[in-house]
Structure 1
Amino acid sequence: MASIINNTTSSSRFADVETTVITKRPYESAEEEGEEELVKDISGDVIDHGLRRGLKGRHFVLIALGSIIGPGTFYGLGYALYLSGPLGLLIGFGLIAIAVWILMQCVGEVTAMFPVHGGFIEHANRFVDPALSFALSWLYYIMWSIYLPADWNAAVLILEFWVPDSKMPSWAWYLIFWAFFSVITTLGVRVYGELEYIFGMFKFCSLIVLFFISILANVGAFGGGYVGFRYWTPPDGPIINGINGFGQVFILAATYYVGTEVISLAAGESKNPQRDVPASMSSITYRILVVYMGMAFFQGLICPSSADGLIHADSAVASSPFTIGFELAGWKTAGHFVNAIIIIAFLSAGNGVVYVQSRTLFTMALTGKAPAIFKTTSKRGVPYVAILFSNLWGFLALMNLSVDAGTVFTYFNSVSGTAAYFTWIIIMLTFLRVRSGLNAQGIDPNTLPYRAKGSIWIYRLTLAFFVFLLLIQGFTSFTDGFHYKIFVSSYITIPTFIILFFGYKFYHGTRWLRAHEIPLADRNVYDAALDLGKPKGWKKIGDLLKN
């Protein structure tokens, strides 16, 4: 990166923290002029545009391995089992796993080369079209803002196993959740990193334990008799509901695989992103194989797809397939053990979701795509305004007061799943544009800190695969008549993206960068800021809110 220029004590806006100036660089925000000082605090962390680069390599590995694995992962796969049977669940998640591994190769290459706040959102801004970045950033923010109430809704479904709604209404739980996550997410990135490290280790070890117990349940260790592949035979499996069930599994898979790309956002707060990002790429393989494929296989092995406790659109309460399978095998109190693990996973997932929301919103504010008030940070380097605002989205879970929790679950999954495909499409498109820029400017990809594996055609075909899935994922709205609620939740992201993209493009007059114009020559993103023009409406609104 840029060289050290002096070691004098700073008298900048970080005057309440002992700091040292280490470099200067252009502002990332287009509406600001001049240069900003990058400083080090007393702990040695770089303060970069108000955020503290405090994440270490071990934090990155655990963030990649499962920081977004929440309560929905433990029982939400039961919906895929209910829809498609054990083999349909395994095939659907397996196909998306391959595509996501290819996706993460794209993320690894571009992020290791350009580790900036906002990650792939800012990459689209600088290397493709600012309008594309604007549409992506808001769609991605909305997606995570829907995940938050989905996790709150999931946690209440589990907590009602111990505390019925008559004793503790769901709205009271939501107030507790908001207060809890508001506190822990404003403690700083170091706290976030340590919490995710501890929670990540716990969840990964817990999954291994659950897999081992599943083997015991399958062979009859709890007195329920040998199971084997009993639930893979009629009437329960191996594939049920034909193409209708199998197609819906793809949307669920997108919902649960989302989070792997968070590495790109976290790179903006890493101590050494060009080392940590490539190192974390190998853990993606383990996450896919051990976490998702392991859960898909073992849950389908011990739990029948016809079990009453599996979540679906008509569910008021739901159980994890692990709980159902262990109880069928003879362990009648398994619910206490499994649900305790799920609640701990919820604490980690809620922490992770608010982190992603707030950093996305912070980056949008930093680059003029959201009100300026959201780029306000504390002396700890915490974007507390973005955090507290983002945490309010959890109260959307109050929808379950008027409709069944299972219906809320399916609506949230449809919207967030399609938004996930949009995100992945734009990440891969940005990667392909960067590769075109490298080729046009004579830069050898082998000289990059991390190079995506395989032929470029693998990435082009995977991009086409994601586009195909985005377009066909709402086909169930046309089966047995027209179901407008399913249609709206499945496709509302498409007109939303179109309005955001073309609205920003026409308002600011942006254009698609040609390959030879992409600023890649010195591979230093800090010296490659684009002149996007001065954002108008958002900056004025933000100034009014701030004053």
Structure 2
Amino acid sequence: MSNNEMDRGLKARHVSMIAIGGAIGTGLFVATGGVISQAGPGGALLAYLIIGVMLYFLMSTIGELATFYPVSGAFSAFSTRFIDPSVGFAIGWLYLIIGVLVSAVDIIVAANVITFWEAMQFLSPFGWSIVFFIIIVLLNIFTVKLYGEAEYWLSLIKVTTIFVFIVFGVLMIFGILGGETYGFKNYTIGEAPFVGGFAGFFSVLLIAGFSVGGTEVVAVTAGESDEPEKSMPKAVKQVFWRILIFYIGSIAVISAILPYTDPMLLNESGSVNQSPFTIVFDRIGIAFAASVINAVVLTALLSASNSMLYTASRMLYSLANNKQAPAFLGKVNERTRSPLSAVITVIVAVFLIIVFSNFKENAIFFLLELVGSLIIVVWGSNVWAQIRLRKAIKVQGKNVEDVLPFVGKGYVIGKIVVISVLFLLFAGGAIPHLLNLNFKNVFGHFLPFILFGAAIVIHKLITGSKMVKLSEIDLERKRTE
């Protein structure tokens, strides 16, 4: 069976919901209170608005590339074809690391979240980790249709919860629900709407930037979607508007009902009891509000783990097809019509991290801190690939509209916005450590970028690869490699 015969089982509804689900997690349900507390309602809303605009142009970039070149490896394949095989090699392995780490850590955290209920404490957190691991494995080891359906419904639970929260919150703001008219007085109390000055705003901008990490997964699904030329543009538009509305809407509601001075918003312990969602639902009078939000957080974690395991396995499959990983990992199983060898390999890696974390938990979370920096590298590579593709079209005397089935809007201003915001995220992560003269953490922040550069150099020394000439970039649309 050839690689082209891999199951194309993801529908348009799967693609958009997978991307939305990938960007909605504990950062929204638990951490938003701290964001409002640090920067005030105005600072929080402005930060997420800026990131939302960046996300729109980033998703347009990804959608343009993924529609023209729908392949399971996505980011690695984009860089290999449009930039340099060595860059593709480095991006592929870095994103593979992201997928494995995030999938494993989400399972570990979910195992601790479920012990919130005393009835579920009959198993240790490690025992629950194994249970959740088995569930995620079963969802991924069979056909891609099963994965798509599972991820669709897991994401739908999160989306529904946020929608209900916003509707109920608006009713509370205008006094229709809850017995008190909150209005917007909390937007102007104390130092509001902007609190903490530039430092407070900048710290929130970093949180907002990394909280939407996961939306890029939509590019990986293109290789197994039925009609990427239809599903990808639709997903790009839906993901931007829904995520922007969900984040901005939730923060707007929380800011109106809870003043930024409320000590519970800090939620330093990360407790679901102090989640702003829990507090608001509790004030509406919904019994067991904490249990409801805890169940949604648990769902969010399992959804994210499921999504990242899928993504990592497809990245490994693509690397193998590009001769950047062992060849047997690029085979498609006849029965499941999925890259089963790659899936099993990633599953083993995730399992080893789960076991290792049982003894060295701090080491895992240190590695997870690197994920934020790795995401910047991946996002940046997509912009670079798009710029190279557009230049190749011009050099080869062709029209963008004739070559690309989907043309992202605002190409020039879009790339400027994305590059500017990515630079802020890149530099901003190091500034607090520099101010505190903590050079160990500064090195930790820049380590992913050092590894990225080292991987490119080593690959070039071994293979002798060179940057693809603009005149030689293949502009023929291909389904997969």
The TM-score by the shorter chain falls in which range?
Answer: 0.7 to 0.9
Pairwise CA distance, 1:309: 5.0
Distance 1:285 1:366 in 2: 31
Corresponding residue for residue 393 of structure 1: 350
Change (3 A) 1:289 1:317: closer
Corresponding residue for residue 441 of structure 1: 396
Distance 1:492 1:402 in 2: 20
Q: In the alignment, residue 350 of structure 1 is paired with which amino acid?
A: S
Pairwise CA distance, 1:339: 2.1
Distance 2:376 2:164 in 1: 32
Q: Is the 8 A contact 1:251 1:417 kept in 2?
A: no
Q: Which has the larger radius of gyration?
A: 1
Residue range with higher mean Cα deviation, 160-169 or 379-388: 160-169
**SS of the counterpart of 2:7?**
strand
Q: In the alignment, residue 53 of structure 1 is paired with which amino acid?
A: R
Aligned pairs for 1:119-518 within 5 A: 119-163=74-118, 168-219=123-174, 223=178, 225-235=180-190, 237-307=192-262, 309=264, 315=270, 319-327=274-282, 331=286, 333-378=288-333, 379-391=335-347, 392-393=349-350, 396=353, 411=366, 414-447=369-402, 448-479=404-435, 481-484=436-439, 486-518=441-473
Change (3 A) 1:525 1:271: closer
Pairwise CA distance, 1:223: 4.9
Change (3 A) 1:262 1:350: same
TM-score (structure 2 length as normaliser): 0.88
Q: Is the 8 A contact 1:231 1:303 kept in 2?
A: yes
Q: In the alignment, residue 69 of structure 2 is paired with which amino acid?
A: F
Q: In the alignment, residue 393 of structure 1 is paired with which amino acid?
A: V
**SS of the counterpart of 1:177?**
helix
Pairwise CA distance, 1:400: 8.4
Q: Is the 8 A contact 1:185 1:355 kept in 2?
A: yes
**SS of the counterpart of 1:510?**
coil
- The alignment's C-alpha RMSD in Å is 3.1
Distance 2:277 2:157 in 1: 17
1:523 aligns with 2:469: no
Q: Is the 8 A contact 2:143 2:336 kept in 1?
A: yes
Change (3 A) 1:302 1:363: farther
Pairwise CA distance, 1:345: 2.9
Change (3 A) 1:179 1:110: same
Identical positions, percent:
27
Q: Is the 8 A contact 1:251 1:414 kept in 2?
A: no
**SS of the counterpart of 1:226?**
coil
**SS of the counterpart of 1:160?**
helix
Distance 1:427 1:312 in 2: 35
> What do residues 303-324 of structure 1 show as CA deviations (whole Å, max 9, x unaligned)?
4445555576665776422112
**SS of the counterpart of 2:182?**
coil
Distance 1:311 1:457 in 2: 36
- Unpaired segments of 5 or more residues in structure 2? none
Q: In the alignment, residue 46 of structure 2 is paired with which amino acid?
A: I
Distance 1:146 1:165 in 2: 25
Higher relative contact order (CA 8 A, sep 6+): 2
Q: Is the 8 A contact 1:224 1:330 kept in 2?
A: no
Distance 1:87 1:273 in 2: 38
Corresponding residue for residue 532 of structure 1: none
Runs of 4+ residues over 6 Å off in structure 1: 400-404
Distance 1:149 1:340 in 2: 19
Q: Is the 8 A contact 1:68 1:348 kept in 2?
A: no
Pairwise CA distance, 1:482: 2.3
Q: Is the 8 A contact 1:247 1:473 kept in 2?
A: no
Q: In the alignment, residue 64 of structure 2 is paired with which amino acid?
A: E
- Unpaired segments of 5 or more residues in structure 1? 1-13, 15-37, 39-47, 530-547
Change (3 A) 1:364 1:275: same
Pairwise CA distance, 1:50: 6.0
Distance 2:358 2:193 in 1: 32
Distance 1:85 1:239 in 2: 5
Corresponding residue for residue 99 of structure 1: 54
